Amino acid sequence: RQAQYRRLRTKPSITKDGVDITLQMNAGLLVDLPHLSEAGAAGVGLFRTELQFMVASSFPRMGEQKAQYQQVLEAAGGKAVTFRSLDIGGDKVLPYLRSIQEENPAMGWRALRLGLDRPGLLRTQIRALLTAAVGRELKLMFPMVVEVDEFLKARNLVEKELAHLKRHGHAVPESIRLGVMIEVPSLLFQLDELMTHVDFVSVGSNDLFQFFCAADRGNTRVANRFDSLNISFLRALRQIVLAGQANHVPVTLCGELAGRPLEAMALIALGYRDLSMSPASLGPVKAMVRTLDASRLSARILPRLEPGHSDTDIRALLKRFASEM
């Protein structure tokens, strides 16, 4: 198996019926970067910047952050890296950040909420990213966005930092693309508004599923209680793809869902064309992609998502389909 996956490394990620599927990898530390070429990923679809903060004993200074981002971009060569702004708080505790006890940390003062309330922190990170990506494209997305206005506020911080750097004669990135992670269900009902403002979106299916089904992703009693391919979640994922297509906004999915072949199959059937996953999943997912007839699968799955269908066990259907591949 391992040898088979290694041979796939340089093979194109394209379905049997000719659909290109971009496979990217998730990373969080510099040591992850060699996997880019080893596993044959097209880019880094999610760089979890909080990892540097979690392994440090105090807040990394602007220069340290910048150095890390520079090294990441350098290691990625010409491949694109999508940075995610700090997603601390919740279960990602920083010993040096004084925080209050929260009863529901996953729904608490975390991620962009913390960043908008402590703009100095977020602006420092943004400045580090802007100066690290001089001469190339900077791709940055924000986690745990609940309403479009939060994105506008975050974008405003980027614009302020950019203006500051230019005013002082510093070089800046060649281009900047800003995106939002879709991981809170409220965004599902603002998709068109959201799409008019962002350059791209990325579905954080781990959190989106957790909040969609009200099932704590870290609680083994409930984490697997509901099928990640349940019909209402699939409908939600489909809505995101459709809104992306209608508004010409690129859509990626970077949660664990993307890294499991059967689930990735479902995503492709829904119309997803860009998936980001842990490096170890790239081989198995690419092997699946290369044997998949995407349009035939879509034709089987999509009608099942319409109301009134009695057989809603999509997982069983996918398994049958896979066994015939």
H or E segment at 277? Answer: strand 274-277
Q: 146 by DSSP, 3-state: which?
A: coil
* CB neighbourhood size of 191 (10 A): 19
Name the 3-class secondary structure at 53.
helix
What lies within 8 Å, CB to CB, of 232 at 6+ separation is: 212
Cα distance from N-terminal residue to C-terminal residue, the chain = 18
d(CA 293, CA 274): 17
Which window, 73-81, 155-163, 171-179, 203-211, contacts ligand PEP (CB under 6 A)? 203-211
Q: Which residues from 164-223 bind Mg ion, rule CB under 5 A?
A: 183, 204, 207
| 8 A C-beta contact, residue 284 and residue 261 | yes
- Residue choice 81, 191, 254, 314 for contact with ligand PEP (CB under 6 A): 254
Quick one: which of 208, 230, 283, 238 has its CA closest to 2?
283
Q: How far is the CB of 258 from ligand PEP (least distance, A)?
A: 9
Please choose which of Mg ion, ligand PEP, none residue 259 contacts, taking the beta carbon within 5 to 8 angstroms, the exact cut-off set by kind: none
Q: What is the CA angle 228-229-231, rounded to 5? A: 120
Question: Which listed option, ligand PEP, Mg ion, none, makes contact with residue 48 (CB within 5 to 8 Å by class)?
Answer: ligand PEP
Does residue number 46 form part of the binding site for ligand PEP (CB under 6 A)?
Answer: yes
- How many residues interact with ligand PEP (rule CB under 6 A)? 10
Task: Spell out the residues 6+ positions from residue 243 whose beta carbon is closer than 8 angstroms to its own.
Answer: 191, 192, 194, 195, 249
Cα–Cα distance for residue pair 264/285, rounded to 1 Å: 7
x/- site string to ligand PEP, residues 80 to 119, per CB under 6 A? -------x--------------------------------
Which member of 32, 150, 183, 263 binds ligand PEP (CB under 6 A)? Answer: 183
CB of 50 to ligand PEP, least distance (A): 8
- Binding-site member from 15, 24, 52, 205 for ligand PEP (CB under 6 A): 205
Contact between 204 and ligand PEP per CB under 6 A:
yes
Burial of 115 (0-12, 13-18, 19+ CB in 10 A): buried
User: Which of these ranges, 167-175, 198-206, 238-246, 295-303, lies near ligand PEP under the rule CB under 6 A?
Assistant: 198-206
Residue 139 binds ligand PEP (CB under 6 A): no
* 21/203 with CB nearer ligand PEP: 203
Task: Give the interface with ligand PEP as residue ranges (CB under 6 A).
Answer: 46, 48, 87, 183, 204-207, 254-255
